[in-house]
Structure 1
Amino acid sequence: MKQTYRSRAAFVLAWVWLAFVAFNVWDLISKYNGKPSLVALAVLGALTALVYVVALRPATVFTESELVGRNPVRTTYVPWASIEDVSVSHAINVRYGEDQVLRLWTPMASARERAKAQRRGMPGQQRGRFRTEPTLSKGEQAAVEAFAGKTHADWVGDQIRERAESVRHRHEEAAPVRVVWAYDAIAVLAAAVVLVVVAIVIP
């Protein structure tokens, strides 16, 4: 079963940007007035390529056999048995092989998110004789305890660590790690460069 984790804020903002671009492209084409419209289209194209590469494409994917790290221009396939250690700071760092490290682009933990998680992990204060917080069900309480003091990146890092340990306990043989170029991202960036060159060259 495949599970995909990414920055929800970046993903939503990227689609909002695409909707904005679609409207403006339609407007520029319908009211085309030569060089100015072409330059505006090139600028929109370049910015959209960057949005795709840094906001839409990055993802952390769990499959049955491996961890897939989709970064802006490369994709790394790390079999669970090859993972040696996982650490989380601002980003999730997965160590494998001989001191090789995969730095996952998403999810990341901002300083604000980490401070909020630490506040959430502190025991709640009671005011006076009566509790002011609503009573939680057992399931809700378990969820609160699981996320206490943790960011989304911390939680995903724990999931990676648990999967890797589970596979190692089964003594599965580690397959080679594969790193491939992201041809979709390269194609999008190349198209943006071509559009900018055309806008510059055409009088």
Structure 2
Amino acid sequence: MTSEDKDQRDGAGSGGQEFPDRVFRSPAGMAGGIVLLAIGLWLSIDAIVGGEGSTPWLALAGLLFAVPLVVAFTLRPAVFAGERRMRVRNPFRTIEVPWGAVETVRAGYSSEVVADGVKYQLWAIPVSLRARKKATRHNERIAAGRPPSPGPGGLFGGRGVPNLDPGETEMRERRAPSDQSIDELRELLETHGRKEEAQGKVAVRWSFEVIAPAVAGAVLLAVLLATG
């Protein structure tokens, strides 16, 4: 585990107490990445063990090229949000954004933060229009006093949800996962954006630990293919 994977801790100010960052990731993306890595590793081992001629070398080069890219787009993306700043870890860049520099956090067709006039996409919080529409339909039914649409059968074969009491309406309302994450980030922005310790400039760092092996794998793969 790298230092970026560890929860960063920010001082709470006068009390001196520290709190861990909130971490936002895409469970679906991580699951897909693990599956892709498992399949790629299995195919590569098979080619290395049973291949002839340049096949094992091609398999190794392909693995060196593909693994960093799969990790970059599936396992790596994360948003770490603390009391002083948010750290956005995208496939090839890490962006440190103090809350004082944030202009807005929003989710349209993609999740993004706007800071110092520049827009940065939040790869770790993908937007699902299907989930958003489903939540909207659900909330409209609740607001109209109708029970939610029946879901799949439960453990005992039950379907649907009984009529809700007025007091239960708010408790039953839904938000798409991406919108809920953006709401949490906005709350942190409103809470900490004006604090003196949350001021500063945006810092962007290229993730050469991902880029370098992928480029090396691509060059090696090209050389092997060219030389036959």
TM-score normalised by the chain length of structure 1: 0.81
**Pairing 1:110–2:145 present:** no
Distance, in Å, in 1 between the alignment partners of 2:140 and 2:131 is: 15
**Pairing 1:17–2:36 present:** yes
Contact 1:49 1:192 in 2 (8 A): no
Moved more, 192-201 or 12-21: 192-201
Q: Which whole-Å deviations, capped at 9, do the CAs of 1:92-145 have from their partners, x for residues lacking one?
A: 221222x22222112111222222222232224249xxx951588xxx976543
**Pairing 1:75–2:94 present:** yes
Tell me the residue number matched to 1:133: 161
Distance, in Å, in 2 between the alignment partners of 1:119 and 1:200 is: 53
Q: Which whole-Å deviations, capped at 9, do the CAs of 1:140-162 have from their partners, x for residues lacking one?
A: 976543xx2x3222111111111
Tell me the residue number matched to 1:66: 85
Distance, in Å, in 1 between the alignment partners of 2:133 and 2:52 is: 51
Aligned residues: 193
The runs of at least 4 aligned residues of structure 1 exceeding 6 Å deviation read: none
Counterpart secondary structure, 2:52:
coil
Counterpart secondary structure, 1:78:
strand
Judged with a 3 Å threshold, the aligned counterparts in structure 2 of structure 1 residues 122 and 30 are, in CA distance, closer, same or farther, namely same
Distance, in Å, in 1 between the alignment partners of 2:192 and 2:34 is: 37
**Pairing 1:179–2:204 present:** yes
**Pairing 1:157–2:182 present:** yes
Give RMSD over aligned pairs. Answer: 2.7
Judged with a 3 Å threshold, the aligned counterparts in structure 2 of structure 1 residues 4 and 126 are, in CA distance, closer, same or farther, namely closer
Q: Which runs of 5+ in 2 are unaligned?
A: 1-19, 149-158
Tell me the residue number matched to 1:123: 141
Distance, in Å, in 2 between the alignment partners of 1:132 and 1:8 is: 27
Cα deviation, residue 191, structure 1: 2.9
Q: Which whole-Å deviations, capped at 9, do the CAs of 1:18-42 have from their partners, x for residues lacking one?
A: 1122222222222130123433444
Counterpart secondary structure, 1:179:
strand
Identity within the alignment, %: 31
Judged with a 3 Å threshold, the aligned counterparts in structure 2 of structure 1 residues 167 and 126 are, in CA distance, closer, same or farther, namely closer
Q: Which whole-Å deviations, capped at 9, do the CAs of 1:14-72 have from their partners, x for residues lacking one?
A: 11111122222222222130123433444444333321221122111113321011111
Tell me the residue number matched to 2:118: 100
Distance, in Å, in 1 between the alignment partners of 2:190 and 2:123 is: 22
Q: Which runs of 5+ in 1 are unaligned?
A: none
Contact 1:91 1:153 in 2 (8 A): no
AA at the equivalent of 1:76? I
AA at the equivalent of 2:118? Q
AA at the equivalent of 2:220? L
Tell me the residue number matched to 2:222: 197
